[in-house]
Structures are given as C-alpha cells and as structure tokens.
C-alpha cells in the first residue's frame, strides 16, 4: 500500500525546480493528446494589454472610455481603416469629417490636414474638440458620430 501511495504522490511533484515566482515554469515534456498532464508548469496567461490607440482614447475620454472605444471601434476598427470605407472624406481613428472640421485642423492643404489626422494622438485630440463642441448644444457630444446616433457602437461595448 505504501508503494501505491508514494507512486500517486510522485505524480503531483513538480518535474523541475522553480527559481522565480515571476518566471513561468515550462512543461518538461510535450503534452500527449488525451492524457492528463501531471506537470505543475505554470502556463503564461495571454494578457491583452490596451493598444496604444486605446490608451489615447482613455487619455482623451477618461470619463466615458468604454463608449469612446466602442464608437471608434465601429467607426474605424480603432484605426485599422484610416479612410472612411464608404468614400466619405472622414479620416483616422475617430473618422473626423474633413469638410466640417477643416478649419480646426492644422495645415494649408487638404493633403497636409489628412497627414495630420493620420497621427492617432492628433486625431483623437480633434475628436475631443468635436465631442465638446457638440455637447454644448446637443444632449451628448457622441451624437457627432453616426455609429452612436444609430446605436451601432453598442455591439462593441464590453460591459
């Protein structure tokens, strides 16, 4: 009976030494499909840190980050699509509509203004101005974006 208990207990002993509480231990052998691993290796967890764009959204819209992220995710997939897919002259993370906001954007030509909007920091800074300007006379600054007005952003809300 003692041999049986020792054999069972040996299955639960780590197969390699643990040197640091911060460094994950890797499995000592490849997993076998259908077999339960007895290795106590700590698996590294995939952490999904905020992207640079999400950090900038948090910087410019700290009081309503989740709504901002969802609106801009619907508008541009957080910058994946720089120019409006329907061909409208709207650019960047926030899909800033150039004909309306051109005077607020630095540059002498449309090309220079578009180049300025390529920088997500610039783009979101003007988006904040658009939001604040709209909030002065409308129920919410988010109504400046169709994805908010029509509720399309809701599919991207995390909470």
Q: Where are the beta strands (DSSP E) in 7-144?
A: 90-91, 96-97
37 and 79 inside one domain: no
Distance CA 126, CA 121 (A): 9
Q: Is 88 in the same domain as 137? A: yes
Q: Which pLDDT tens digit goes with each residue over 101-157?
A: 999 999 999 999 999 999 999 999 999 999 999 999 999 999 999 999 999 999 999
- 10/64 same-domain check: no
Task: For residue 50, give the DSSP letter.
Answer: P
pLDDT tens-digit map of 69-107:
999 999 999 987 788 878 789 999 999 999 999 999 999
Q: Are residues 93 and 17 in the same domain?
A: no
Q: How many domains does the chain have?
A: 2
**Residue 129 confidence (pLDDT):** 96
Tell me: do 56 and 40 sit in the same domain.
Answer: no
pTM across the whole model: 0.67
């Amino acid at each position: 009976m003692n041999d049986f208990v020792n054999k069972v207990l040996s299955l639960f002993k780590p197969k390699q030494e643990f040197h640091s509480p911060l460094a994950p231990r890797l499995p000592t052998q490849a997993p076998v499909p259908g077999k339960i691993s007895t290795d106590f290796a700590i698996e590294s967890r995939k952490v999904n840190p905020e992207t640079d764009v999400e950090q900038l959204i948090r910087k410019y819209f700290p009081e309503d980050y989740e709504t901002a992220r969802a609106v801009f995710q619907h508008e541009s997939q957080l910058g994946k699509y720089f120019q409006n897919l329907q061909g409208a002259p709207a650019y960047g993370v926030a899909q800033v509509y150039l004909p309306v906001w051109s005077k607020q954007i630095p540059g002498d030509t449309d090309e220079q203004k578009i180049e300025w909007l390529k920088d997500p920091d610039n783009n979101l800074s003007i988006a904040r101005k658009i939001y604040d300007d709209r909030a002065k006379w409308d129920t919410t600054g988010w109504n400046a974006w169709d994805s908010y007005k029509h509720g399309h952003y809701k599919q991207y809300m995390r909470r």
